[in-house]
Structure 1
Amino acid sequence: MSILKTTKPKLQRISQSSFAMRAKSMTAHLSKDLRDQYGRRSVGLRKGDTVTVTRGDYKGHEGKVSAIMTSEGRITIEGVTMKKMDGTTKPVMISPSKVMVTKLDLSDKDRKRRLEGKKSKVKDEKEKESD
């Protein structure tokens, strides 16, 4: 049996990219209030962030990120499951581009510091524009 290969250059670049590059691409948009609070549009996803599904069959479901599969480029969310034929439930893997972050997990001090630093830069720029 032969192994199928994609002919699309974009997909070839993604499949051959390093773990660090794949992890960097696991980002999601922030909600309007978080966007105003932190002065940025998107943020890298972490386990523990609360997200809302914005596209697809599970649109409107909200829950915490329970796992991040960097190799597949997908996440799983608590409460977003599918029922298998034998009656057991299985978490549904969702693309990070189809979710919106509604609450950030700020238990990591470095993450909090990076977000706060970006916020202060944006605030300084807005003050300069108003002068």
Structure 2
Amino acid sequence: MRKTFSKFWVASKQPRKQRKYRYNAPSHIRHSMLSAHLQKGLRKELGRRSMALKKGDEVEIRRGEFRGRRGAVSAVDMKRLKILIEGIKRKKVSGQDIQVPIDPSNVVIVKVNLEDKKRKKIISRKTPETKQ
């Protein structure tokens, strides 16, 4: 089995190959793996179903121990494919508070951070034209 990433890889049912694909993926593909669904109101407004997560986006956790909690994305971990959310913390045995990494598939984007010019351009390119 090759150790490098192949852009021609289509699909496999084998979990080991799925894990290998994710582990060896380059950063431009990893970025798309860090996307989450938009809330229903935002879907209609932006004309798309999901977006890549970015620092500053406000999200709501839908699955897991912290279900129902909201917060802004404080960091996006490209290596581990996880996000860190403000206010989602756990105590270590030493008593120190640490942020809990959350999988992007378990959150829904509630508010999009539109400070980035490139992101605005992407949204304007993807939004459907209104009929007059």
TM-score class, shorter-chain normalisation, is: 0.7 to 0.9
In structure 2, what residue type is equivalent to 1:45? L
1:16 to 10, 19, 24: 24
Aligned residue number for residue 104 of structure 2: 96
2:126 to 107, 118, 125: 118
CA distance in 2, matches of 1:12, 1:74: 17
Aligned residue number for residue 74 of structure 2: 66
1:54 to 42, 56, 62: 62
Q: Which runs of 4+ in 1 moved over 6 A?
A: none
Greater fraction of residues in helix: 1
- Over residues 54-95 of structure 1, what are the superposed CA-to-partner deviations in whole Å (9 max), with x where a residue is unaligned? 000000110000010011000000000001112110000000
| Largest Rg, 1 or 2 | 1
In structure 1, what residue type is equivalent to 2:109? V
Aligned residue number for residue 75 of structure 1: 83
Q: CA RMSD, aligned part only?
A: 1.6
Aligned residue number for residue 4 of structure 2: none
SS at match of 1:120: coil
Aligned residue number for residue 86 of structure 1: 94
Alignment: residue pair count: 119
In structure 2, what residue type is equivalent to 1:93? P
CA distance in 2, matches of 1:118, 1:23: 18
Aligned residue number for residue 114 of structure 2: 106
CA distance in 1, matches of 2:95, 2:118: 42
Name structure 2 gaps, 5 residues minimum.
1-14
CA distance in 2, matches of 1:70, 1:52: 20
